[in-house]
Amino acid sequence: MDLIDRLAEQHITEAVERGDLDNLSGAGKPLELDDLSSVPEHLRSGYKLLRNAGFLPPELHTRREIAEVADLLESISETDHATRDYAQRKLDLLYARLENQRSRHNSPMWAQDPEYTALLMRHLERGSNKTEL
């Protein structure tokens, strides 16, 4: 173990001995681990930090919608042609949106968002005033 791991373990052990970790919500329940297999390993901690703060990339919202519409499409009766056609069109639109979002990832954020570009330029002009970002 390196120094940081040892310090973390020491703090955890002390907290357990003091009883600080008793009666936590979820105690005794299995952990709900996230499937981050689609997120590159070097980006996972940043992704989790942003997700926990409520910031998800639009691509993930679109993927979630795709899964919901796909589930809905499977549950629609084969004889309900109008509803199935509508759901299929919605699914096709979501797949097109996802493809568009993926293609935008090839350009930097500042090239996609003029407001962000202006904010970034103001920040760079003022020096290291980090409170604006």
Biggest alpha carbon distance in the chain?
A: 65
Using alpha carbons, select from 73, 112, 76 the residue that is nearest to residue 95: 73
Three-state secondary structure of the chain: CCHHHHHHHHHHHHHHHHCCCCCCCCCCCCCCCCCCCCCCHHHHHHHHHHHHCCCCCHHHHHHHHHHHHHHHHHHCCCCCHHHHHHHHHHHHHHHHHHHHHHHHCCCCHHHHCHHHHHHHHHHHHHCCCCCCC
Whole-prediction pTM value?
0.44
Evaluate the CA torsion angle 86, 91, 97, 103 in order and state its sign. negative
Q: pLDDT truncated to tens, each residue of the chain (133 aa)?
A: 588 889 999 999 999 999 888 888 887 888 878 777 777 788 888 888 887 887 777 787 788 889 899 999 899 988 999 999 999 999 999 999 888 877 766 555 545 566 766 776 677 676 544 444 4
